Amino acid sequence: MTEPSPLPHPERDAIELTAVLFALSDEARLALVRQLSNGPLDMVDCLALGVNTPKSSRSHQVKVLREAGVIISELRGRRRQLTLRRSDLDSRFPGLLEAVLGA
């Protein structure tokens, strides 16, 4: 059995403000980012997306955040660990993350 290939993540300099703002404009995704602001989580432990939310919907929400450069999704065994890209976002857009999370 082959290992799944890593998912693509934008480089720090390629993170675009419009993509980040779009990703954070959804209530469920914003709740997930707030939860991740306390530290990395296994995807199945991300209660912000709701325990009854279908797997396909959870995967879509995570994909939008990952492709925007807001989070990193890494394979850890058979699970995915999600991490907020706080330092990358703070470097690209100083104060944005704190402003959005504090709102």
pLDDT at 56: 81
**Per-residue confidence (pLDDT) for residue 33, from 0 to 100:** 94
CATH number, position 54: 1.10.10.10
Q: How far apart are CA 59 and CA 64, in angstroms?
A: 9
State how many domains the chain has: 1
Residue 80 belongs to a domain: yes
For residue 28, what are the contacts with CB-CB under 8 A and spacing of at least 6?
A: 48, 49, 50, 53, 61
Amino acid at 79: R
Q: Does some domain include residue 8? A: no
- Encode the chain (103 residues) as per-residue pLDDT tens digits: 556 667 889 999 999 999 999 999 999 999 999 999 998 888 777 666 767 777 788 889 999 999 999 999 998 887 889 999 999 999 999 999 999 988 7
Determine the Cα–Cα distance for residues 20 and 32; give it in Å rounded to an integer.
14
